[in-house]
Amino acid sequence: MGNLMPKESYSNISDISLDYLINDIHIKGLIFDFDGTLRRNKTVSIDTLNFLKKAHSKGLKLSLLSNNPYVSKTILKVLNIPTTKKFACKPLKKPFLDMAKKMNLNPEEIAVIGNNRISDIWGANRANMYSIYIQNLNGYIFKRKIEDKLKDLGIKHIK
């Protein structure tokens, strides 16, 4: 169960402290999940774009590891992420380690940022990478859990 626990958890990518990752954790590269992490609600936010620009300007190597086989090359070019693996078969350890090799970094020098505790966090932890979980507060499961809790409290409808 401990392998599903991230080292850090945030609501948005832009809340992550790059200075902390670089100076205190000694991170040299970031691996991102795509759907639900970089792209939320079918768009990439300005805050996410600014975070990627800031990470790039601080000298971090950026890559993308996604189980989605349809990640657009145009989007990746706009995001300035040169190293990519689509249809990665996460949470297997191998795609994470292969990406570390492509980035020319040791696994301990990489932080994985994703929104799925199984495919992203478990995979990162198994590969001995620093794991950062992005909570999907707009997701169906989260909304359903809140609705169920409210029903348990006797609240049937909220406008």
pLDDT of residue 126: 96
Q: Is residue 157 part of a domain?
A: no
pLDDT of residue 31: 96
Q: Is residue 8 part of a domain?
A: yes
pLDDT of residue 87: 83
pLDDT of residue 143: 58
The count of structural domains within the chain is: 1
3-state secondary structure of 94: helix
Q: Is residue 42 part of a domain?
A: yes
Q: Which parts of the chain have pLDDT scores under 50?
A: 140
pLDDT of residue 77: 80
> Would you say 96 and 122 are in contact if contact means Cβ atoms under 8 Å apart?
no
Q: Is residue 120 part of a domain?
A: yes
> Would you say 6 and 133 are in contact if contact means Cβ atoms under 8 Å apart?
yes
Q: Is residue 27 part of a domain?
A: yes
According to DSSP, residue 122 is labeled I
pLDDT of residue 63: 93
Q: Is residue 84 part of a domain?
A: yes
CATH number at 74 reads 3.40.50.1000
Which residue, among 70, 26, 74, 78, has the nearest Cα to 52 in the 3D structure? 78
Q: Is residue 158 part of a domain?
A: no
CA 149 to chain centre: 28
User: Could you tell me the residue range of the domain that residue 79 belongs to?
Assistant: 2-152
What is the C-alpha to C-alpha distance for residues 133 and 37, in angstroms, rounded to an integer?
9
Q: Is residue 159 part of a domain?
A: no
For residue 9 the two structure tokens come to: 């958890």
